Amino acid sequence: MDISTKVVIIGAGFGGLCMAAALKRTGHDDFVVLEKGHDVGGIWRDNIYPGCGCDVPSHLYSFSFEKYRSARSRYPAQPEILNYLTGVADKYRLRQHLRTGAEVASAEYDQTARRWTVRTEAGDTFTADVVVCAVGQLHRPKLPDITGRADFTGAAFHTARWNPDQDLTGRDVALIGTGSSAAQLLPHVARQARRVRVYQRTPNWVLPKPRPEFGPLTRAVFRRTPGIQSAYRALVYLAADLALTPVITKGWSFLPAKWAARWHLRRQVPDPALRARLTPDYPIGCKRIVVDSDFYPAVTRENVELVTDPISRITRDGIEVAGGRHDRADVIVYATGFRTTEFLAPMTVRGRDGAVLQDSWQAGAEAYLGIAVEGFPNFFLVHGPNTILGHNSNIFMIECQVHFIMNCLRLLPGAVEVRAEAMRDYRDWLDTAIGRTVWPAGCLSWYKTESGRVTNPWPASTLHYRKLVRRDPAAAFSVT
């Protein structure tokens, strides 16, 4: 199949759907959305482990043009978020543009024709003036490189590849990792399994999460007061920006956040020895803060054991830790995160003069505002390098990027490419801003490459990002 179109969007998660809806809402119909999965939804389609949900309130974790409205749920679970996204795809008639099962293998720029050729793994070809790559940062599971992993004969899977047919009742489960996914999953597994051993390599800072449902008073106010939900959304947004951004720069809220996490731990874990093993020794905010109120109580259950001895190998029937202790397991669940710093991998992107994006990114991915890369005209990223947030709603960032890309599209026809000077100035600012955060030193995290370069999160307030994307792109881009 060989299809010619104006815009190819890669990915049908929050980012791809936002871009598609923006095109649709401005009267553009000539675009295709390529999605490797069987439906829209991105990570909210892939992550179906019990307990999966969002730790950002959904009134904020939704598009501004399609606000989540519920007088009941503050934090809906994964099925409701997926349902919200499929609703957006239906309401904005995006499905007619969608090609599922279309995993992109490569995108190549022809500078004579000023067109991109996008090829899928299945061999289909799409040519377009513009490519918008919205594949996100947390979609490729990372399985740990532990000796003997392949020898295990029981069931084993990653949280993002949860097997719903696996009955855990009465089984011995090994859960590796203690990040956000493990924290959400553990209470559910612990209720079913005979025994759960949780293998913690590094403790996380954990802040309490308010109850997922609003109380009766709030419900009544939400139902009866027009505009109150929008006001609530704005309030949550501003509170996050003003109170959580300074945590990552050791600003005014750094110590209160640390005290709140310590208080939460003390309140939920009475045993001082266990508490000590759950206490991080690096600055709060260095790794993504876990927001959860059920993880610590689950760790203190009788059938749950926190194992902090390093894993030395996986055997055919369990896990061996340093010192030689062997724990038998029927099932191993890897809550070991994602290949976040590889960005568009395994896709090959070839731009002007045959430049390969992955080569330009060997020292770590970078893009102007996380959106555009020099040498790659008419190629834009949603949720590209240094745009993900641990301190506010990623949907806000996605909308900012889509707003900017739509402005770039107004510069067409021609080859629209970020200027080297604009990228240099942005890089200088970004390096300084990252230097002020708690990320570069003190901890290992999915925010940075193995060499320590911070490539994933945005280092400032989202209000600042909003200010940058509101600038006219003509000042930073050349059009040939």
Per-residue contact string for residues 243-282; x = within reach of ligand N01 by CB under 6 A: ----------------------------------------
Please report how close the Cβ of residue 85 comes to ligand N01 at its closest, in angstroms: 14
Which position among 48, 73, 77, 144 is part of the footprint of ligand N01 (CB under 6 A)?
Answer: 144
Q: Whose Cβ is closer to ligand N01: residue 17's or residue 286's?
A: 286
| Touching ligand N01, residues 420-449 (CB under 6 A) | 444, 446
Q: Whose Cβ is closer to ligand N01: residue 131's or residue 146's?
A: 146
Residue 367's identity, in one-letter code, is A
| Touching ligand N01, residues 208-237 (CB under 6 A) | none
Torsion over CA: 58, 60, 62, 66 (sign): positive
Please report how close the Cβ of residue 480 comes to ligand N01 at its closest, in angstroms: 38
Q: Which two tokens stand for residue 248?
A: 């990552």
At 275, phi and psi to the nearest 5? -60, -40
Q: Whose Cβ is closer to ligand N01: residue 221's or residue 345's?
A: 345
Size of the site for ligand N01 (CB under 6 A): 25
Q: Whose Cβ is closer to ligand N01: residue 374's or residue 399's?
A: 399
| Touching ligand N01, residues 327-346 (CB under 6 A) | 335-338
- Nearest CA to 383 among 100, 192, 170, 139? 139
Q: Exposure of 428 by Cβ count < 10 A (0-12 exposed, 13-18 middle, 19+ buried)?
A: exposed
Per-residue contact string for residues 38-67; x = within reach of ligand N01 by CB under 6 A: ----------------xx------------
The span from the first CA to the last CA of the chain, in angstroms, equals 30
Q: Whose Cβ is closer to ligand N01: residue 336's or residue 461's?
A: 336
Per-residue contact string for residues 280-319; x = within reach of ligand N01 by CB under 6 A: --------x----------------------x--------
Q: Whose Cβ is closer to ligand N01: residue 332's or residue 422's?
A: 332
Which position among 33, 131, 138, 344 is part of the footprint of ligand N01 (CB under 6 A)?
Answer: 138
Q: Whose Cβ is closer to ligand N01: residue 202's or residue 358's?
A: 202
Residue 397's identity, in one-letter code, is M
Residue where the block lists tokens 């997926």 = 82
How far apart CA 446 and CA 341 sit, in angstroms, is 7
- Nearest CA to 14 among 85, 76, 64, 66? 85
Please report how close the Cβ of residue 47 comes to ligand N01 at its closest, in angstroms: 7
Please report how close the Cβ of residue 237 comes to ligand N01 at its closest, in angstroms: 16
Q: Whose Cβ is closer to ligand N01: residue 159's or residue 378's?
A: 159
Please report how close the Cβ of residue 35 comes to ligand N01 at its closest, in angstroms: 20
Per-residue contact string for residues 170-209; x = within reach of ligand N01 by CB under 6 A: ------xxxxxxx-x--------------x-xx-------
Q: Whose Cβ is closer to ligand N01: residue 7's or residue 88's?
A: 88
Please report how close the Cβ of residue 206 comes to ligand N01 at its closest, in angstroms: 12
Please report how close the Cβ of residue 336 comes to ligand N01 at its closest, in angstroms: 4
Q: Whose Cβ is closer to ligand N01: residue 42's or residue 179's?
A: 179
- Nearest CA to 434 among 312, 281, 285, 236? 285
Binding site for ligand N01 (CB under 6 A): 54-55, 138, 144, 146, 159, 176-182, 184, 199, 201-202, 288, 311, 335-338, 444, 446
